[in-house]
Chains A and B, each alone.
Chain A
């Protein structure tokens, strides 16, 4: 494919082919980084939108007055994220406490809180996965491009010194090649930076929602625990 376009002078392919080996590597690396960052951007935005949507749906169902057990039974066999994951984790712990002889009420509240915390951190980790790649591309990409440019200009000046000719026709192609590296770097880094900021903010928002839901759900469960515990004591007393 590059061979076909090489005959067109001054095209992008010609610029690439005429460049120094290191500059070529830099260009290839930056192009791959651009592809990767855009893949991450697309996947991440889809995932975040999906999580936000499922969280809204779950919230509706949760506060619709449906029995928690029914909700649990409906969700337990699916892969869950967001609120549903928290809910399943907490309910599993809850049900486990009642499966046995009814003992272990004392520390159930603590266990549920722990489970919620763990699942929150797991969810957040999932949300923020690969954002580091974006951050790296955004911050380091320009430097890599600059390196390619500096190297290209260096080789250009060396060829000027060798040919002892300073006419612009000699200088221009080398500098164009060199600047091409910076152009690719900026093309990769700018969207990476923009979407990194956006995703970090979105993930932070979702984390806040998860934590508030966990607190709320924990409060509900703790009320239930206290009621059950009171009922058991009354039964025991009777």
Chain B
């Protein structure tokens, strides 16, 4: 107890200020701690980083080109229905081991078997190989299917198509046709009869020459008979024509019904067909979902490698007119010169030597080339390159010294 008192007293001793200082310091630390830890900082939800693409100036120009309000069109793409088969070329020595069958190989002969172009939807899934084998027998059956296609040349169905709707219209023109034909036939018979009648009448006339009073009556009767015969003949003719027309119509209707039935069966067959489309479609690297019209697009055109070398060749060819290389300045390295061209073929920036070296003859050679570039400055650039201006705006041209020798 006494010790504790001494300790406490020593804490308040001026010569030993440790106790006071320590207590004060701890109080200060406590206050600072209270301030610092007064509120726990809640975790801020991690912000998702924004993806940033770094693009060159040219890409930016190509990107901006176009109408602001214009809708985005898909990239121009070739029409591709199925992915082109990639033939695996094995080393001859490895052929024994790797005998991977090429699945696409089995299909083409099948396509040859079916020459008939079917207008089936292309989206139809290809059937499995076994089904294909099962489907192979049909080809012999198909020839009947060919009929409807070949049908047009056949004479019968040709009129058959219209009759369905215009059954009445074609008949009238047909009627006059049979009329003139049957007329001579009945005439011969009637004429014979008439001749007989006439002969009889003549005999009767000769016989009853005297009865001339009766002649008028006779003539009247004759006219009557004639009229009657005419009427009869006409009736007969009409009946014949009617019969013929009826027969023809029946035949036509029968043909039409048969054709319709055939057509229906073909349609049914086509609709329910599970066969692979006989069209193998165009091939390409990947199936195109939607073939574009090949119209304008947001991205500008780029030079193809051949076009690029063509353009550089044009430039160097024009430049060579002004080129005079100091004798002996044939270095081993190839100087590369960068320059910026305007649309009209004039140089806007450069030419700048990209790879200066200390090699003997190198600098004179490079400078001669650059001088030639400057002197021949407005280059003629064919119009077809103007569309790709952004691509050839800045050019790096290498001057191969070995070509100079």
B38 touches A8 (CB 8 A): yes
Q: Does A220 interact with chain B (Cβ within 8 Å)?
A: no
Instruction: Kindly identify which residue among A10, A13, A43 contacts B39, using a CB–CB cutoff of 8 Å.
Output: A10
Q: Does A140 interact with chain B (Cβ within 8 Å)?
A: no
Q: Does A106 interact with chain B (Cβ within 8 Å)?
A: no
Instruction: Kindly identify which residue among B10, B21, B23, B37 contacts A10, using a CB–CB cutoff of 8 Å.
Output: B37
Stretch touching chain A among B26-34, B257-265, B360-368, B396-404: B26-34
Q: Decide yes or no: A13 and B26 within 8 Å by CB, A40-B18, A46-B16 being known contacts.
A: no
Interchain CA distance A82-B108 in the complex, whole Å:
113
Interchain CA distance A31-B27 in the complex, whole Å:
10
Convert A9-45 into 0s and 1s, putting 1 for each residue whose CB lies closer than 8 angstroms to a CB of B. 1111100000000000000000100111111111110
**Which residues of A approach B to under 8 Å, CB–CB?**
5, 8-13, 31, 34-44, 46-47
- List chain B residues, Cβ under 8 A from A41: 18, 22
A5 touches B34 (CB 8 A): yes
Q: Decide yes or no: A42 and B34 within 8 Å by CB, A8-B39, A31-B26, A34-B26 being known contacts.
A: no
Compute the total of residue contacts between A and B using a CB distance below 8 Å.
54
B34 touches A38 (CB 8 A): no
23 A-B pairs with C-beta separation under 8 A: A9-B39, A10-B40, A11-B34, A11-B38, A12-B34, A12-B37, A13-B34, A31-B26, A38-B21, A38-B22, A38-B26, A39-B18, A39-B21, A42-B17, A42-B21, A42-B22, A43-B16, A43-B18, A43-B19, A44-B18, A46-B16, A46-B18, A47-B16
Q: Does B167 interact with chain A (Cβ within 8 Å)?
A: no
By beta carbon, the residue of chain A nearest B16 is A43
By beta carbon, the residue of chain B nearest A50 is B15
Min CB distance A232 to B, Å, is 46
Interchain CA distance A34-B38 in the complex, whole Å:
22
- List chain A residues, Cβ under 8 A from B21: 38-39, 42
Q: Does B25 interact with chain A (Cβ within 8 Å)?
A: yes
- List chain B residues, Cβ under 8 A from A38: 18, 21-22, 25-26
Min CB distance B290 to A, Å, is 51
By beta carbon, the residue of chain B nearest A15 is B37
For residues 1 through 52 of chain B, which have their beta carbon under 8 Å from a beta carbon of chain A? 10-11, 16-19, 21-23, 25-26, 30, 33-34, 37-40
- List chain A residues, Cβ under 8 A from B30: 12
- List chain A residues, Cβ under 8 A from B25: 38
Interchain CA distance A225-B201 in the complex, whole Å:
214
A35 touches B17 (CB 8 A): no
By beta carbon, the residue of chain B nearest A38 is B22
A12 touches B22 (CB 8 A): no
Interchain CA distance A24-B92 in the complex, whole Å:
85
Which of A40, A43, A44, A47 counts the most B-chain CB atoms under 10 A from its CB? A43
Min CB distance A39 to B, Å, is 4
Interchain CA distance A42-B26 in the complex, whole Å:
13
Interchain CA distance A35-B25 in the complex, whole Å:
8
Interchain CA distance A36-B23 in the complex, whole Å:
8
Min CB distance A7 to B, Å, is 10
Q: Decide yes or no: A11 and B37 within 8 Å by CB, A39-B21, A43-B18 being known contacts.
A: yes
- List chain B residues, Cβ under 8 A from A40: 18
- List chain B residues, Cβ under 8 A from A42: 17-18, 21-22
- Given contacts A12-B34, A43-B17, list 15 more A-B pairs with CB under 8 A: A8-B38, A9-B39, A10-B40, A11-B37, A12-B33, A12-B37, A31-B26, A35-B23, A36-B22, A38-B21, A38-B26, A42-B18, A42-B22, A43-B19, A46-B18
- List chain A residues, Cβ under 8 A from B16: 43, 46-47
- List chain A residues, Cβ under 8 A from B10: 43
- List chain B residues, Cβ under 8 A from A10: 37-40
- List chain A residues, Cβ under 8 A from B17: 42-43, 46
The 5 closest A-B pairs by CB, nearest first: A42-B18, A43-B18, A38-B22, A39-B18, A39-B22
Convert B113-133 into 0s and 1s, putting 1 for each residue whose CB lies closer than 8 angstroms to a CB of A. 000000000000000000000
Which of A5, A35, A44, A47 counts the most B-chain CB atoms under 10 A from its CB? A35
- List chain B residues, Cβ under 8 A from A35: 19, 22-23, 26
- List chain A residues, Cβ under 8 A from B23: 35, 39
- List chain A residues, Cβ under 8 A from B40: 10
Interchain CA distance A218-B11 in the complex, whole Å:
38
Interchain CA distance A37-B22 in the complex, whole Å:
8
Min CB distance B232 to A, Å, is 116
Min CB distance B25 to A, Å, is 6
By beta carbon, the residue of chain B nearest A5 is B34
Which of B10, B34, B37, B39 counts the most A-chain CB atoms under 10 A from its CB? B37
Interchain CA distance A69-B115 in the complex, whole Å:
140
- List chain B residues, Cβ under 8 A from A11: 34, 37-39
Interchain CA distance A35-B38 in the complex, whole Å:
23
- List chain B residues, Cβ under 8 A from A36: 22
By beta carbon, the residue of chain A nearest B30 is A12
Interchain CA distance A12-B33 in the complex, whole Å:
7
- List chain B residues, Cβ under 8 A from A12: 30, 33-34, 37
